[in-house]
Structure 1
Amino acid sequence: MLLGYARVSTADQNLEAQRTALMEAGVDPARIYTDTMSGAKAERPGLAEMMRSLRPGDVVVIVRLDRLGRSLLDLLDLVRRIERAGAGLRSLAETLDTTTPTGRLLFHLFAALAEFERGLIRERTMAGLAAARARGAKPGRKPVLSPDRLALAKLLWSNPAVPISQICSEFRVSRRTLYRELGPRTGQD
């Protein structure tokens, strides 16, 4: 069975052109799921409903790949979920059909390119962090506690009579932050 998915980013845009193209491709109008929201949103009700209704042998038809997912990684994840349901994907604009050997090959090429890109980004990030550290920079978040406040927290921390909850409250930090900054304490409350 063919299921259609159409999405526009804002209420000002119109879904009709996508709905018409999907119906011309053979999708029953009752089987077209729609969303009016950014593709960057993880929770899209129409998409979620369509994914729940997928059965083995179904084919999800979309007008363009960018209507299904905003990023290649998001798109790859969605196509994998569609395939796990035993269904396929057909994109009208890109003439991509994962129900055919050629379509699966093209899709796997997209997946390989995305994995390669992730690896390059990771390498560049690690190299940038190493270069920053070599220059004396301390990458990452700024410390929650200034050196003066950290010294005072250490003083209170060394006194077992002062409850940890009181120290956390006084410095407006979580226990986790306190433990990360000061290490373990004996006689904890």
Structure 2
Amino acid sequence: MSIWPIIDAPGRRIGYARVSTKDQKLRMQRDALENVACDLVFEDHGISGTKASRNGLDAMLDELKAGDTVVVFKLDRLGRSVLHLADLLIWFQKKNVHFCSISEGINTTTPGGKLVFHLFSAFAEFQRDIIAENTRTGLNAARKRGARLGRPPALDSDTILEAQRIMSEGGVTVAEIARKMKVNRITLRRHLDRLE
């Protein structure tokens, strides 16, 4: 009896393999993907899973068509985080692309595998709500402490007053002053408008 799962999918089997460092080998993942008869295999070698953009992953996503099945050796080879993995699985579902993880025995062509899509979707929504709530709570607490939110001003008050003094003497444009002070003309204009 084969140790490899039977993937009963209507379209192509598209494999994806990744290792994080140049020293690691893709051999085990390649063997597993070959044993389940993948039609195409995309790889990222020496690419951390934390990177949002990976050449192999991006090329695979561009290649996918409705009815295809993405096959990985393990879940952690695909997503850079649980939330990223959930986003990918939801994207697959919307594109009518199936997903199979050999090690975890996940196969969305089966009823149990379809449940995985729903669980990941619910988890992703829950995690986003938690992040949004924590962000709102943090911002409100900072406002109560009197913290100034957002980026710090590009120019300090002395610099703005100096720019205002030079302008009042006449004969110099905002663009010339901005060049001299090494700031963007629009930024300087905005600060001068506030001062006025």
Question: TM over 0.5, yes or no?
Answer: yes
1:7 positional shift: 0.2
For 1:61, the equivalent position in structure 2 comes to 71
Count of aligned positions: 182
For 1:153, the equivalent position in structure 2 comes to 163
CA contact (8 A) 2:90 2:117 kept: no
Are 1:35 and 2:44 matched, yes or no?
yes
Q: Following the alignment from structure 1 to structure 2, what is the Cα–Cα distance between the partners of residues 181 and 162?
A: 17
For 1:14, the equivalent position in structure 2 comes to 25
1:157 positional shift: 5.3
Q: Following the alignment from structure 2 to structure 1, what is the Cα–Cα distance between the partners of residues 117 and 169?
A: 61
Amino acid at match of 1:59: T
Are 1:132 and 2:148 matched, yes or no?
no
Q: Following the alignment from structure 1 to structure 2, what is the Cα–Cα distance between the partners of residues 27 and 85?
A: 19
> Secondary structure of 1:130's partner?
helix
1:181 positional shift: 2.6
Tell me, which stretches of 5 or more residues in structure 2 are unaligned?
Answer: 1-11
For 2:125, the equivalent position in structure 1 comes to 115
Correspondent of 2:113 among 99, 103, 109: 103
Q: Quickly say closer, same or farther: Cα 1:146–1:119, change in 2 above 3 A.
A: same
Amino acid at match of 1:11: K
Q: Following the alignment from structure 1 to structure 2, what is the Cα–Cα distance between the partners of residues 132 and 149?
A: 27
Q: How do residues 53-92 of structure 1 correspond to structure 2 at under 5 angstroms?
A: 53-92=63-102
> Secondary structure of 1:79's partner?
helix
CA contact (8 A) 2:89 2:120 kept: no
Please give the root-mean-square deviation of Cα atoms over the aligned residues, in Å.
2.4
Residue by residue over 1:34-70, the C-alpha shift from the partner in whole angstroms, topping out at 9 and shown as x without a partner, is: 1111122233222222223223221110011211111
Q: Following the alignment from structure 2 to structure 1, what is the Cα–Cα distance between the partners of residues 165 and 112?
A: 68
CA contact (8 A) 2:98 2:109 kept: yes
Residue by residue over 1:128-153, the C-alpha shift from the partner in whole angstroms, topping out at 9 and shown as x without a partner, is: 22212212221333222122112223
* Identity among equivalent pairs (%): 46
Q: Following the alignment from structure 1 to structure 2, what is the Cα–Cα distance between the partners of residues 143 and 71?
A: 34
Q: How do residues 141-180 of structure 1 correspond to structure 2 at under 5 angstroms?
A: 141-156=151-166, 161-180=171-190
Amino acid at match of 1:41: K
CA contact (8 A) 2:42 2:57 kept: yes
CA contact (8 A) 1:88 1:97 kept: yes
Q: Which moved more, 1:77-86 or 1:124-133?
A: 77-86
Q: Following the alignment from structure 1 to structure 2, what is the Cα–Cα distance between the partners of residues 99 and 162?
A: 71
Q: Following the alignment from structure 2 to structure 1, what is the Cα–Cα distance between the partners of residues 36 and 165?
A: 72
Q: Quickly say closer, same or farther: Cα 1:22–1:143, change in 2 above 3 A.
A: same
For 1:187, the equivalent position in structure 2 comes to none
